[in-house]
Amino acid sequence: MSIRKQSFVFGEFYHIYNRGNSKQVIFRDKGDYYRFIRLLYLSNTQNKIIFNRLNMDFVNLKKDEKIVNIGAYCLMPNHFHILIAQTEDGDISRFMQKISTAYSMYYNKKYNRTGSLFEGKFKSEHVADDRYLKYLFSYIHLNPVKIIQSDWKEKGINNKTEALKFLETYKYSSYLDYLGFKRLENKILDIEAFPNYFPTKEIFQNEIFEWLSYQEDVKVLP
């Protein structure tokens, strides 16, 4: 994947997303999800990715080495979402290029395929509105609900309790980190770089529940 020409600004927030070429599945099994999750962490440095670290636990990266701050993320079978901010000396484009290249190489080798894995360059949306930025934390973390009810946004959720329980079993997003689960993936996030919308897990849970209950038309992202 080539580096996009768009400029990203320090101090601003961006919603990054992309999907598989022709909407193909890009995460086939647990190993694929965890490969990408490790890359979210290990790519967040000016240094090259050390491939022999990918099969190890998360290594310690110095905070001043990081090139982006990640506020939330979610991996779905054929696409992903990342809420991100650029550090003062960082580079979102470089970060995404490192992840996309490394993951594509891994995926193509594992499944004996060639060609582009992703649908062109990653998509980005500048998030300038505070209300919308807060909403994105719910939007991104509610994505997995589509797995158990694909039309919940159009028809309303069938079972809120079931949906919330499912989210608590879904390990491929930062949802569990906001609920206070202690896991290695905590290291991916730089929550202090984003507005403190959710000072407690109860406030976060309530926000998720309200959006899950909201059945009127809201802005739906690609």
> How far is residue 95's CA from residue 114's CA, in Å, rounded to a whole number?
23
pLDDT, position 5 = 54
Q: Does 62 have pLDDT greater than 80?
A: no
Residue type, 45: T
Q: pLDDT class for 217, splitting at 50, 70, 90?
A: very low
222 within domain boundaries = no
pLDDT, position 6 = 60
Identify the domain containing residue 22 by its residue range: 13-213
Decide: residue 109, CB within 10 A, 0-12 exposed, 13-18 middle, 19+ buried: exposed
pLDDT, position 51 = 63
173 within domain boundaries = yes
Q: How many independent structural domains does the chain possess?
A: 1
Q: Does 2 have pLDDT greater than 50?
A: no
Query: What 8-state DSSP symbol labels residue 63?
Result: G
**89-110 mean pLDDT:** 94
7 within domain boundaries = no
> How far is residue 39's CA from residue 221's CA, in Å, rounded to a whole number?
24
**152-162 mean pLDDT:** 89
Residue type, 190: D
Q: What angle do CA 109, 113, 118 make, to 5 degrees?
A: 95
5 within domain boundaries = no
> How far is residue 100's CA from residue 1's CA, in Å, rounded to a whole number?
7
2 within domain boundaries = no
For 29-50, the pLDDT digits (tens) are: 999 999 999 999 999 988 877 6
Sheet holding 68-76, edge to edge: 68-76, 79-86, 13-19, 123-127
27 within domain boundaries = yes
149 within domain boundaries = yes
DSSP-based three-state secondary structure for 138: helix
**7-28 mean pLDDT:** 94
For 175-209, the pLDDT digits (tens) are: 999 999 999 999 999 999 999 999 999 999 999 99
CATH number at residue 103: 3.30.70.1290
> How far is residue 34's CA from residue 54's CA, in Å, rounded to a whole number?
9
8 within domain boundaries = no
